[in-house]
Amino acid sequence: MIHDHVGRTTSRTVLSTDSVAPADRRDFWTRAVSQTYVDLQCEVAGSSAAAASIDGSIEAAHLVTLGLSKVTATAQSVLRTPAGIARTSDDYFLVSVQNQGNGFVVQDDRIARLEPGDFAMYDTTRPYELHFADNFEQYVLRLPGSTLRTLVRNTADLTARTVPGGQGAGKLLLTMVRTLLDDTEMSTQSAEAVAQSVEYLVVAGLSGLTDAPPPHLAARRLAVIKQEIRARLRDPGLSVASVAATLHLSPSTLHRAFAAEPCSASEWIWAQRLDGARLDLVDLTLLNISIADIAFGWGFSDAAHFSRAFRARFGCSPRDYRNSTLA
């Protein structure tokens, strides 16, 4: 059974076996978890009809690029197989935050035991297994692979490793994900801020598993954003929205990354384009290229706008700058 609930922050979906015939529940459940996460196979120990059945529900919500769900279910094993990866090669990192019962995450020749409060990460691009010997409840986060790899190095060394819930990031994460999923009255702006905090808590917890100090997340994120912008400065379609989409960020998150900078993200884009055009104007190998063509080559679509912006930044027109410098 599928229900849609719409709150102020995002829509959410509930999938439940309650109204499904017992004989059909395992197949229904397998489709439900595959729809929510990635292509998965669900198994139950034992051969009897009762043993093969799975009872459970998934409450799932999506906020910007953060997928968040609460899974409540009976004993089972969940498998990400090579065949499943071949069918849907989705690139996500999943993070299981145990709330009730115990579980195991198996990947990369490691086994993470999860007790209430603990969390562990696993990579959907490689096979993994989840095992639950009894009834359980856990929250599951889904993050785009490219997003997490910009914030954490050596992710392959961090899969299926237990981040304890008794202190630090592990202790805070469970409270944060409960808040984000359960508070339907949270404003969109507040929810995005909480979602970003959840992401940072995951990274902080994973960083605590290594000997290296945790990266300065805000500085690293800003560096990644600037790198992407520089690579596309000559693209006339470059915008804050397109950069955010490429990096799997919300536009508001990208804008916040520039909060401590002397200019906004849009202003930084135009400043970088103007700096590039200024260098081309005095490049001796480009003297046969018109000022308008140089402007268009740096993503400007209007020569008059380029001239005004250039004068505002450098105190003279592009033509005067070229002539005075090459005189």
Digit-coded pLDDT (tens) for 79-101: 999 999 998 878 999 999 999 99
User: Does residue 64 lie in a domain region?
Assistant: yes
Domain hosting 119: range is 2-207
CATH of the domain at 282: 1.10.10.60
* Shared domain check, 129 and 40: yes
φ, ψ of residue 214 to 5 degrees: the values are: -60, 140
In this prediction, residues 289-300 reach a mean pLDDT of 94
User: Does residue 217 lie in a domain region?
Assistant: no
Residue 107: pLDDT band (50, 70, 90) is very high
pLDDT at residue 3 tops 60: no
* Shared domain check, 193 and 247: no
Q: Which residues of 167-186 are buried (b: 16+ CB within 10 A; e: fewer)?
A: eebbebbbebbeebbeeeeb
The dihedral sign for the CA sequence 186, 187, 190, 195 = positive
* Shared domain check, 257 and 160: no
* Shared domain check, 76 and 169: yes
Residue 73 confidence (pLDDT): 96
Residue 217 confidence (pLDDT): 63
* Shared domain check, 143 and 19: yes
User: Does residue 141 lie in a domain region?
Assistant: yes
Residue 216 confidence (pLDDT): 59
* Shared domain check, 151 and 10: yes
303-314 vs 265-281: helix crossing angle, rounded to 10 = 90
C-alpha to C-alpha distance for 253 and 153, rounded to whole angstroms: 21
User: Does residue 262 lie in a domain region?
Assistant: yes
User: Does residue 222 lie in a domain region?
Assistant: no
Residues 6+ apart with CB under 8 A from 175: none
The last residue of one of the domains, among 207, 222, 245, is 207
* Shared domain check, 268 and 187: no
User: Does residue 316 lie in a domain region?
Assistant: yes
pLDDT at residue 184 tops 60: no
* Shared domain check, 146 and 269: no
Top mean pLDDT of 10-14, 80-84, 213-217 is at: 80-84
* Shared domain check, 134 and 44: yes
User: Does residue 116 lie in a domain region?
Assistant: yes
User: Does residue 228 lie in a domain region?
Assistant: no
Q: Say what percent of the chain tops pLDDT 90.
A: 47
* Shared domain check, 188 and 274: no
Residue 213 confidence (pLDDT): 43
* Average model confidence (pLDDT) across the chain: 85
* Shared domain check, 83 and 170: yes
C-alpha to C-alpha distance for 43 and 41, rounded to whole angstroms: 7
Q: Residue 166: is it exposed, middle or buried by C-beta count within 10 angstroms (0-12/13-18/19+)?
A: exposed
Query: pTM for the whole thing?
Result: 0.65
CATH of the domain at 95: 2.60.120.10
* Shared domain check, 102 and 59: yes
Residue 186 confidence (pLDDT): 64
User: In the chain, how many domains are there?
Assistant: 2
DSSP labels, 255-278: HHHTTTSSS-HHHHHHHHHHHHHH
